[in-house]
Structure 1
Amino acid sequence: MVETARYLKDVEADVIRPLSQTEAKSAVALLKDAARQEPAIAELLSGDDPLKPFLIAALTLSPYLRDSAAVSPQLIAAALSDPLETVLEELIATARDCWKPRDGQTPSETEVMASLRKAKRSLSFVVALADLGRIFSARDTTLYLSRFADAAVAAAIDHLLLGGHESGKVVLKDVERPSERSGLIVIGMGKLGGHELNYSSDIDIVVFFDPESGILVDPVDGTEIYGRMMRRLVRILQERTADGYVFRTDLRLRPDPGSTPLAVPVEAGLLYYESRGQNWERAAFIKARAMAGDIAAGEDFLRQLVPFVFRKYLDYAAISDIHSIKRQIHVHKGHGAIAVKGHDVKLGRGGIREIEFFAQTQQLIAGGRMPPLRTRQTEVALKALAEANWITQDIADEMTQAYWFLRDVEHRIQMVHDEQTHNLPDTEAELKRIAFMLGFADTASFSARLERTLRSVERRYARLFEQETKLSGVEGNLVFTGEQDDPGTLKTLASLGFERPADMARVIRTWHYGRYRATQSVEARERLTEMMPKLLKAFGESSRADEAMLRFDSFLSGLPAGIQLFSLIGNNPALLSLIVRVMSSAPRLADIIASRPHVFDGMLDPALMAELPTRDYMSERLRSFLTVARHYEEVLDRLRIFAAEQRFLIGIRLLTGAIDGAEAGRAFTDLADLLIEQTLTAVEREIEAAHGRYPGGRVALMGMGKLGSFELTAASDVDLILLYDYDDEASESDGEKPLDATRYYTRLTQRLIAALSAPTAEGVLFEVDMRLRPSGNKGPVATRIRAFRKYQQEEAWTWEHMALTRARMVAGDEDLGDETCAVIAEVLDRPADVAKIAADVREMRDLIEKEKPPRDIWDLKLIPGGLIDIEFIAQHLRLVAPARGLAIDTHGLTTREALQALGAELMTDDDLQTVLEGLSLFTELSQIIRLCIDGPFVPKEAPAGLVERVCRAGDCPDIRTLEGEVKRLSKAVRAVFRKTVSA
């Protein structure tokens, strides 16, 4: 393997210097104690061999080496005489063969663990001394560490397979070579795969198995058997015992680690990478190597993954993929000077990761067409890129030199305490330790060399990613690979405004693993990763960012596909802002788009905010939308779809302030009119198909309450009265199943109610309230016009006449509608007993207040001086106007319009303005609250975005000021109510 043997005695005396004379004296004392046990050490101390001051210096610089030597002096003795390669090869062979039976006795798991730990400790000690003495380069160090890891993992796998054979779980094909043809594949990933392990590295492995390899007694049990083996493998390698540990072992680079077993069936693995493999996994598999278990099967598995890792054609998606990897596995370049103290030489600016990614990125871009670039080792990859003229030779040399220097620094950092860390010390004293370990005379010369190297790497890397600023804009880690939280990413999420960064990271990993339909395609995940910095920044800036993010997650979970949305959001900041506003302010809207993602399509219309939702605007779209509907149920379903989308879009306009509460009320009502009209038409066709037409039959629908006054909210039900008429001579309808008039129109009404209010997969059009019909719930659901006239003229109570003041025809036969309006005008225009009306109105208001008291000040409808008081004022004025000699028709007017028409004559200007001011504020707040949440508005529990929105609607700086304004106005309105509704 090597041409010239290398010995520790070849070290130069001044290659490193002791940390201090005090430390040196301590090291000498330790060596003298060791010399009593090891003659070779005593001989060394007695002479002037250059090895002596080197060994003293090494023990002062590395507490880990000093402690190891104190516990096991033989480690020093073993390194003194034999060639280093011979010692290390023997240790590797010892590790590889520790599983083998001796004298017919299979070693126990405890014995295997002890053998591996002792060999690892010895190898680490010898390698560290050779590295510090510059007898080994960083290349040698990484190679021997990686080869030992191969031997340790392979030995543990053979031990486990042999144990499985002896227990009857598997039947090996060759007990002397357990792994051969076993179908159990162990893939080394990352630095292990590239033979580039650092001194205190974890090892990343991925395990697959072939259920049909022939060694499983029952292939169905493979997942359980091998899963149990892998748990034991981790224990064998990483559990700390009195002898230490071998390697911390990570199995989380397997496909979708949150939902897959520790050992994954080969076919499941291939299917995953083909359909759901992620960007970072492509980069990770550049270095992947079959290193234990069934090597032949492992190499075949990796050959099948080549098309996944190296795409044949360089297209937009591939380039996008490369950029998205950058966002997932790298720390974004910060601003300001590179600081040596505390710098992360792996992940920091100009660090090892940037060199690796510099090479891997270009390997991914060109490796599909240039097989020589498909190499695992970073240095070899840089050389291949230069030979392919992808980069210049100067750049390859510069990056290679920087890579190995930084690897040297990394090793020294880890040799101090055998810790998996990449951060330089942040104190001068500890930084001097690292500088001396590297052979520098002081920290200043080391810092100068390090800064020069880091800047060189950063410069080359930045040129590779000239679009970096555009791609990000977020400083810090955004790593969502594997299953464990990246500490830097949690810090970044917290700095962005998230209160539970670990929960948010877990949610985002769900997206990246393609567990939702919207993120299952490679292209969708590429776009999602590209927009992740913008997305997180936007959500982070919203109030209660965590809640908003979880609502967005719910939305994503229901999307049938995501690529279009992600592409649009990535290129449309306004759309992203709109989504964030919905998720942070309006849980009700967020729930709607989560359960019915199709409503979101309307947000993609660039004219959304430019065009107001007028009746004509919606009518045209509804007509077009219904064109393809052929059958009754299809018509109703399309009406429900249209209703959900248009309500949502009206709500979006209200939420963003494009329209105010009054305009929203008009828009919601216009939409209701159109939907009710189309539903009535569809129901009439169905009734006529089954029962025929009723001779002379006419139907009209009268809207009452907020429907009648154009003041519906996003959550309103609709108050309807169905009126009909027919020829007196007719006794039944003319269809195959004739019905008499009462049953005919009753069935039509019942069918209409069902069509409007029955819950289906597409939702509900409206909850329907018909209690305002003559005789209320006790009367028939449909009323003939003559009965309606007689009832209103002779039997109706004052409150029913109050309701008539807001009545309006919304659909049906125009002539019958006109006739109904004439009846209403006749009833309302009769001079009435003013005192009685006032008493009845007061009594009605008192009854409501007693039976339905307001929950709190935010119950804007029911509070004293709230919306009911204002509506009652308008209704009272309309009923008493004829007695005051006024002929004012309020048919088809909103409450505001009615108040302005009546109040100008029947109220003082101050009182009218007070009521109108209260109506404006309460309407605006009610519309927004009903739009954004279901149930009561409790500021302490409401989304912060909603609280901000209602404060903005009330033109108040905070919720306490707004509450004070509501109390002031409601008190003033109640005073006007008492004054106006008096005898």
Structure 2
Amino acid sequence: MHDLETALDRARKHAPFLANLIVREAPLIERLDDALVDPLEACRPPEALESPVLQLRIERRRLALLVALGDLSGRYPFERVVTTLSDFADRALDIAIRTAILERVPDAEPRGFTAIALGKQGSRELNYSSDIDPILLYDPDTLPHREGEAVEDSARRIAQRVVQILQTRDGEGYVLRVDLRLRPSPEATPPALPVSAAISYYESQALPWERAAFIRARAAAGDLRLGEEFLTAIRPFVWRRSLDFGTIGEIRSITRRIRDHHSEGQRFGPGYDLKRGRGGIREIEFFAQVHQLIHGGREPDLRVPATLDALAALADAQWIDRDDAKSLADIYRLLRTIEHRTQMVDDRQTHILPEKSEALDNVAQLHGLEDGKALLDLLAPRVERVGTIYDALDPEGGAALPQDADRLTEKLTDAAFAEPDQAVRLIEKWRAQRYPALRSAAAQSALEAALPGLVKAFGQSADPQAALRRLDTLLARLPSAINFFRLLEAQPGLADLLSAILCHAPTLADVLGRRVELLDGLIDATALKPMPGIPALIAEMREGEAGDDYQAVLDRVRKLVGEKRFALGAQIIAAASDPLIVAAGYARVAEAAIQVIADATIAEFARAHGRVPDSELVVLALGRMGGGVLTHASDLDLIFLFTGDHMAESDGKKPLGAVLYYNRLAQRISGALSVATAAGPLYPVDTRLRPSGAQGPLAVSLEGFRKYQQESAWTWEHMALTRARPVFGSDAAREAIRAIVDAVLAGARPDRDIAADAVTMRDEMRAHKPAVGPLDAKLLDGGLVDLEFAVHVQQLRYRTGFDPNLGKAIELLTAADLLPSTLCEAYAFLTRMLVTLRLVAPDAQPPAEASRGLVAAALNQPDWDAVLASFDATRQEVSRCWNAVRQAEEE
């Protein structure tokens, strides 16, 4: 009881409001220890009063006393204080709604009217003496109303009565202050809105700050089902996968406006505004909300309303530093607790430390401190830490670039632009709105906000001029640049990565010019990490698939594949991953896409044509896809096969024979994989390796495939078969194909002069498909094609060393002394070079001077001269090996 006696003593001495309640509620004080166990129950009068309004006022008064004493005594941690206050507010609001409806229509079921709690009630963090900020909504079809009365009039009167019940004062006090100004267009709308009108508003007209407000939205009272349906309907407005980063700038500007408007409360000391001041409560809340808005569209675990929960979730997801999260959480509890102390004194809705020393001493002593100085000493370092953390999120030092050409030239010279005059001309062209994407006021505003960060990032890059020129090309292609610039403003680190892409990777720059939203994907925590496994990728591509139509599935897969491929390319440019690991990641993404698209296409096709009994489609990958190692530009070499009887017929409304069925199905899958749409293309699909090539049917039966490979296929087709790998089909079907492939490779094929056939084919390839440039790691003599030919000839000649992955196959052959061990290193070097140059120098010409260091690092070479020397030595080694293989006699 000692802690309660101390709390009662402090309350009597330092809080006139509480002192009055202690006297007035003497019977409650007598059973205080028990009452604090369940304050929401203990605050209720022993017998229900006739007037629910009167009862609520008494309950609120008693709860105010119990919560204050539970807080002051230390029995209630901060979280219990705010949740108890919030739970009472929910109950009071619910009773007020029911009362208002039943007063108008006594026999009606009180439904069709709901309250959406926003702000601290929405997050269950309500202040000790706070108002509530609900949005009141109704359903015209279910809201009770008097006969002959328009339903909108009934809703308006119910809303007005709810406010009156809660905030009118009498001798018993009041229940809650109510602020309805967070509803849509409060200056022009009634206090309660139809649900459909509210949904329409948030889908089409809402302001950016309203999105942040709905992070903490909750159906709190009245018809909860109606409220939940409303929140579900507007969820896409709040949580966007591709975020409009103008929102972030708008939210940050709120803090700046608050700092300006409450300038006197910004300076720490007496009169400091605990809520709005620099380093105060709101900055902690906004710090969490900004990160939630940026990342919550992609990570549902971050969509938590309470500030403390949000900080913990963001730290767990590694979006914010764990130590910062803990500090902010501890400081938030302390600042909110001191805020409560200022409110307990006179039950005033204040957030400001008293300016007069006596009043400040009084608040400090209510908290259990010696005086106001001790309180300020307690708060000062914590407020400073919050301000520092928030300032890092929202740096205000990035002044706009000068408009004057001379001053702009100086600025660009200082930023390390070698040819500042050219850069000035480009920036002036953007400011002159030469491109459609830059012609609106919003676009110009976004441009000016992002330019300082871009210039700084480009200036630190290897080739600022090249980056700026490619940015100009990108802007010329964009239909809109607002979101692009807002993203860069909101995520300054992305400007560095963008500058690297624009400096070094024309392939990615071109893709970005067509789909600027791909940059969004790089804010994801996993964007620069190795690509997950195929099951995880399939699950992500199928997320939310239930109920989607076929086109929606295809569009989602195309969108995600575009994001993943762009991120994989960025990993190389950012030196975040080995090109060999990236190449395997490209292949996993492609395999997942094949799985999801094939499943969806089969289901769609079956709606009209049914399925062929005891039969299924199987997809066999060859080439780089079969080997599980792709580049950014790789096509997919696929063969479509089917199991079962080729004479069978499908069982649908429009039956087809098996051969026609699977050929049409294969055609649709191939088209779904390769046809470009608004969501972007996927992959070029090459089916020329199928039996009889371009002259043969697109899909053949397993038996037809077996017979062709064992009786008719040419040597080059058997060489391709060494990298065959089933990528779609049941386990049984995949095993059946592997058995056919294994048998063919083991010798069930025509007896031919493999080396001679390979030499002829290589000579024809050299004549018809020469190297495109001096760095063509694939087609130059001694490149990957020669290496592949050497491997495949030895595999077929000695019927060993088979593995679809070329690197593993080489290891098997070197272990069998059929190839020199140097070929393992040659394969790794040439593959890294091919994968990297597909991004940096797709024309196989020497890249710009500034990009050569990046290529060298990707190839594990000290510098560009070492790259050229290693390339030359590797080609010589591959050529020696290929020549030795082609000249050897078969055993």
TM range (shorter): 0.5 to 0.7
1:504 to 423, 443, 462: 423
What corresponds to 1:384 in structure 2? none
Q: Which of 1 and 2 has greater Rg?
A: 1
Q: 2:817 matched to 1:900?
A: no
Q: 2:664 matched to 1:747?
A: yes
What corresponds to 1:950 in structure 2? 855
* Distance (Å, rounded) in 2 between the aligned partners of 1:811 and 1:672: 12
Conserved? CA contact 2:647–2:657, under 8 Å: no
What corresponds to 2:830 in structure 1? 922
Q: 2:750 matched to 1:827?
A: no
Q: What's the CA shift for 1:916?
A: 1.6
* 3-state SS of 2:508 partner: helix
1:696 to 614, 627, 651: 614
* 3-state SS of 2:542 partner: helix
Conserved? CA contact 1:524–1:563, under 8 Å: yes
Q: What's the CA shift for 1:841?
A: 2.4
1:655 to 540, 548, 573: 573
Change (3 A) 1:738 1:571: closer
Whichever residue aligns with residue 924 of structure 1, its letter is: R
Q: What's the CA shift for 1:542?
A: 2.3
What corresponds to 1:812 in structure 2? 729
Whichever residue aligns with residue 491 of structure 1, its letter is: E
Change (3 A) 1:842 1:694: same
What corresponds to 1:606 in structure 2? 525
* Distance (Å, rounded) in 2 between the aligned partners of 1:699 and 1:607: 34
Change (3 A) 1:590 1:488: same
Change (3 A) 1:715 1:610: closer
Deviation sequence 1:374-400 (CA, Å, 0-9, x none): xxxxxxxxxxxxxxxxxxxxxxxxxxx
What corresponds to 1:709 in structure 2? 627
* 3-state SS of 2:641 partner: strand
Whichever residue aligns with residue 789 of structure 2, its letter is: F
C-alpha RMSD of matched pairs (Å): 3.5
* Distance (Å, rounded) in 1 between the aligned partners of 2:755 and 2:567: 42
What corresponds to 1:936 in structure 2? 843
Change (3 A) 1:555 1:629: farther
Between the two proteins, the alignment pairs up a number of residues equal to 509
Change (3 A) 1:559 1:936: closer
Conserved? CA contact 1:700–1:723, under 8 Å: yes
* Distance (Å, rounded) in 2 between the aligned partners of 1:736 and 1:824: 36
* 3-state SS of 1:906 partner: coil
Q: What's the CA shift for 1:784?
A: 0.9
Change (3 A) 1:318 1:591: farther
Q: 2:693 matched to 1:785?
A: no
Deviation sequence 1:484-526 (CA, Å, 0-9, x none): x522322332343335534433443455567778778878766
Q: Give 1:967-982 correspondences, 5 Å limit.
A: 967-981=872-886, 982=888
Deviation sequence 1:193-224 (CA, Å, 0-9, x none): xxxxxxxxxxxxxxxxxxxxxxxxxxxxxxxx
Deviation sequence 1:340-359 (CA, Å, 0-9, x none): xxxxxxxxxxxxxxxxxxxx
Whichever residue aligns with residue 536 of structure 1, its letter is: V
1:479 to 402, 405, 412: 402
* 3-state SS of 1:654 partner: helix
* Distance (Å, rounded) in 1 between the aligned partners of 2:606 and 2:510: 39
* Distance (Å, rounded) in 2 between the aligned partners of 1:314 and 1:772: 59
Deviation sequence 1:871-908 (CA, Å, 0-9, x none): 122212221233xxx5x552xx4111111012211336
* 3-state SS of 2:728 partner: strand
Q: Give 1:559-638 correspondences, 5 Å limit.
A: 569-570=488-489, 572-610=491-529, 612-624=531-543, 627=545, 630-638=548-556
Whichever residue aligns with residue 868 of structure 2, its letter is: E
Aligned identity (percent) is 34
* 3-state SS of 2:753 partner: helix
Conserved? CA contact 2:579–2:858, under 8 Å: no
Whichever residue aligns with residue 785 of structure 1, its letter is: L
Whichever residue aligns with residue 624 of structure 2, its letter is: K
* Distance (Å, rounded) in 2 between the aligned partners of 1:590 and 1:628: 35
* Distance (Å, rounded) in 2 between the aligned partners of 1:494 and 1:578: 22
What corresponds to 1:41 in structure 2? none
Q: What's the CA shift for 1:320?
A: 11
Change (3 A) 1:517 1:600: farther
Conserved? CA contact 2:474–2:513, under 8 Å: yes
Q: 2:766 matched to 1:849?
A: yes
* Distance (Å, rounded) in 1 between the aligned partners of 2:484 and 2:656: 53
Q: 2:751 matched to 1:837?
A: no
1:736 to 648, 653, 658: 653
Q: 2:409 matched to 1:490?
A: yes
Conserved? CA contact 1:547–1:584, under 8 Å: yes
Change (3 A) 1:526 1:741: closer
Q: What's the CA shift for 1:629?
A: 6.3
* 3-state SS of 2:679 partner: coil
Change (3 A) 1:600 1:822: same
* Distance (Å, rounded) in 2 between the aligned partners of 1:849 and 1:824: 28
Conserved? CA contact 1:857–1:963, under 8 Å: no
Whichever residue aligns with residue 920 of structure 1, its letter is: A
* Distance (Å, rounded) in 2 between the aligned partners of 1:321 and 1:834: 87
* Distance (Å, rounded) in 2 between the aligned partners of 1:470 and 1:642: 32
Whichever residue aligns with residue 539 of structure 2, its letter is: E
* Distance (Å, rounded) in 2 between the aligned partners of 1:857 and 1:510: 37
Whichever residue aligns with residue 847 of structure 1, its letter is: E
* Distance (Å, rounded) in 2 between the aligned partners of 1:318 and 1:524: 22
Whichever residue aligns with residue 779 of structure 2, its letter is: L
Whichever residue aligns with residue 519 of structure 2, its letter is: F
* 3-state SS of 1:700 partner: strand
Change (3 A) 1:530 1:630: closer
Conserved? CA contact 1:320–1:527, under 8 Å: no
Change (3 A) 1:961 1:929: same
* Distance (Å, rounded) in 2 between the aligned partners of 1:471 and 1:314: 11
Q: 2:771 matched to 1:864?
A: no
Q: What's the CA shift for 1:643?
A: 1.2
Change (3 A) 1:567 1:635: closer
Q: What's the CA shift for 1:607?
A: 3.3
* Distance (Å, rounded) in 1 between the aligned partners of 2:260 and 2:410: 25
* Distance (Å, rounded) in 2 between the aligned partners of 1:773 and 1:314: 60
Q: What's the CA shift for 1:945?
A: 4.2
Q: What's the CA shift for 1:821?
A: 0.7
What corresponds to 2:321 in structure 1? none
Q: What's the CA shift for 1:318?
A: 5.5
* Distance (Å, rounded) in 2 between the aligned partners of 1:652 and 1:617: 21
Gaps of 5+ in 2: 1-206, 208-249, 262-390
Conserved? CA contact 1:866–1:918, under 8 Å: no
Conserved? CA contact 1:679–1:755, under 8 Å: yes
